């Protein structure tokens, strides 16, 4: 019976054969639109929120193509931490007015396009060549978290350790950076 079977994966409902392309075709333009907004919007907070939307949609994309673990981690880290950090520092730094940004825009956009269009051309060229590879037809099986854990702590154990050291250093370093220099945090009255 249908209901007795555990679902397990979020994307299962999409990975039925006739549905597998649809989420990609729907999500990709949305992601690109949100990213375009993040690049284009003059108001910094809007740009940051649109970046969060774009990254969240990428997380949904991962979920639909079977990388559940990565998708959820992406959502947690990018939407829950990175976007919040960016928004928070935007609030603290009170970025300058948008009029200046908009006035500068025609010049900067032309310069930017001159630099990025060749990159885009090269990338599109490479992708169009790659699309013909026979490997594109294969679909790898979905992995379980247990498998991730096993691989992570055997084959990639050194990398895990390095990342752990890096994150610790980052935590201490960021805390030191962000502190007001020469000022000890103080309690108002009673401590």
Partner 1 sequence: MTPLTILLTLSTFLFTLGLLAVLTRRNAILILVGIELMLNAANVNFIAFWRYGPPDPDLTGPLFVLFSIAIAAAEAAVGLALILMVFRHTRSTDLNRLDSLHG
Partner 2 sequence: MSLLDRLQQAAPALWSPEWLPRLPQRLVEILLQYFGAPGWLVTLAGFLVAAATVVAVFLSGFALLSLVERKTLARIQNRIGPNRAGWFGILQPVADGIKMLTKEDIVPAKAEWFLHLAAPILIVVPSILALGVIPYGREWVPVPLELGLLFFFAAGTLTELSVFMAGWASGSKFPMLGAMRAISQMVSYELPLMISALGVIMVTGSLSLPAIVAKQAGFHLGFIPAWNLFTPWGLSAGLIFYVASIAEANRCPFDLPEGESEIVAGHMTEYSGFKYALFFMGEYLGLFAISGLGITLFLGGWQAPLPGLGCVPSWLWFFAKMVVVIMSYLWIRGTFPRVRIDQLMRFAWLCLIPMALLTLPAAAIWHYVGGGLLGWLTTVPLLLIPWVILTVLYNRRMAPATRTYTFAES
Enumerate residues 6+ apart whose C-beta is below 8 A from 28. Answer: 61
> How many CA within 13 A on the CB side of residue 102?
6
DSSP of 96-138: --HHHHHHHHHHHHHHHHHHHHHHHHHHHHHHHHHTT-GGGG-
In the complex, what is the shortest distance from the CB of residue 171 to partner 1, in angstroms, rounded to a whole number? Answer: 8
21 alpha carbon, distance to own chain's centre? 21
Kindly state the smallest distance separating residue 33's Cβ from partner 2, in Å: 15
User: Residue 125 CB, nearest distance to partner 2 (Å)?
Assistant: 37
From the list partner 2, partner 1, none, which binds 67 (C-beta under 5 to 8 Å, kind-based)?
A: partner 1
Within residues 92-131, the interface with partner 2 by CB under 8 A covers none
Spatial distance between the Cα atoms of 110 and 107, rounded to a whole number of angstroms: 5
CB neighbour list of residue 51: distance below 8 Å, 6 or more residues apart: 34, 35, 38, 83, 86
Smallest CA-to-CA distance from 142 within 50, 6, 31, 15 is with 15
102 touches partner 1 (CB under 8 A): no
Return the half-sphere exposure (C-beta side, CA atoms, 13 A cut-off) of residue 27.
20
Quick check: 157 binds partner 1 (CB under 8 A)?
Answer: no
Binding to partner 1 in span 104-133, by CB under 8 A: 104-105, 108-109, 111-113, 115-116, 119-120, 123-124, 127, 130-131
In the bound complex, what is the minimum distance in angstroms from residue 115's beta carbon to partner 2?
A: 32
Interface pattern 129-168 for partner 2 (x via CB under 8 A): ---------------xxx----------------------
Alpha carbon distance 181, 152 (integer Å):
39
Which C-beta is closer to partner 2: that of 7 or that of 99? 7
Question: If binding is defined by CB under 8 A, does position 172 make contact with partner 1?
Answer: no
Interface residues toward partner 2, by CB under 8 A: 1-3, 6-10, 13, 16, 19, 45, 49, 52, 59, 68-69, 72-73, 75-76, 79-81, 83-84, 87-88, 91, 144-146, 185, 187-188, 190-191
């Amino acid at each position: 019976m249908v209901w007795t079977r555990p679902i397990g994966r979020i994307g299962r409902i999409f990975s039925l054969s006739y549905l597998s392309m649809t989420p990609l075709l729907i999500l990709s333009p949305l992601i690109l639109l949100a990213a375009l907004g993040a690049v284009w919007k003059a108001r910094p907070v809007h740009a940051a929120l649109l970046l969060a939307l774009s990254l969240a949609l990428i997380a949904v994309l991962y979920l639909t193509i079977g990388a559940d673990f990565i998708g959820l981690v992406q959502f947690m880290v990018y939407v829950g931490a990175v976007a919040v950090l960016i928004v928070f520092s935007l609030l603290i730094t009170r970025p300058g007015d948008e009029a200046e940004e908009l006035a500068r825009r025609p010049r900067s956009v032309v310069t930017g396009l001159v630099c990025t269009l060749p990159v885009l051309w090269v990338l599109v060229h490479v992708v169009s060549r790659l699309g013909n590879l026979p490997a594109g037809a294969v679909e790898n099986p979905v992995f379980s978290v247990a498998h991730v854990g096993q691989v992570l702590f055997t084959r990639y154990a050194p990398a895990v350790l390095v990342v752990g050291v890096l994150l610790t250093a980052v935590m201490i370093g960021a805390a030191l950076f962000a502190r007001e220099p020469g000022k000890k945090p103080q309690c108002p009255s009673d401590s």
